[in-house]
Amino acid sequence: ATVRPPNLRQALVRLSGQQDIRTSIECENGYSLLDVIRQSDAIGTTNHRHGPLQQPPDGIHMLKITGLDDDTDEFYTHYGIVSR
């Protein structure tokens, strides 16, 4: 399945003022992708699949994006990107 978070990607592009670059990641098993992210220095985005009172998986940290409210609709997606 191709993973593309259009709403969050567009919000980050607007905030950064940089050119929009489309990404495409193919992954059959989301847990495998999560394991790769944990063992790398990758910066990526993911959805808020855990409730506000639950901790994210070990090794995954929420980044605060200046100018983007934590409760904005763009964060609520079932997709994510990974970038090195």
Q: Structure pTM? A: 0.30
What pLDDT is attached to residue 72? Answer: 72
Whether the predicted pLDDT of 34 surpasses 70: yes
**pLDDT tens figures, 41-50:** 655 555 555 4
**pLDDT tens figures, 1-16:** 444 455 666 777 777 7
Whether residue 65 contacts residue 44, with contact meaning beta carbons closer than 8 Å, is answered with no
Q: What percent of the chain has pLDDT over 70?
A: 38
What pLDDT is attached to residue 84? Answer: 55
Q: How far apart are CA 48 and CA 41, in angstroms?
A: 20
Q: How far apart are CA 12 and CA 68, in angstroms?
A: 8
Whether residue 33 contacts residue 19, with contact meaning beta carbons closer than 8 Å, is answered with no
Greater confidence, 17 or 84? 17
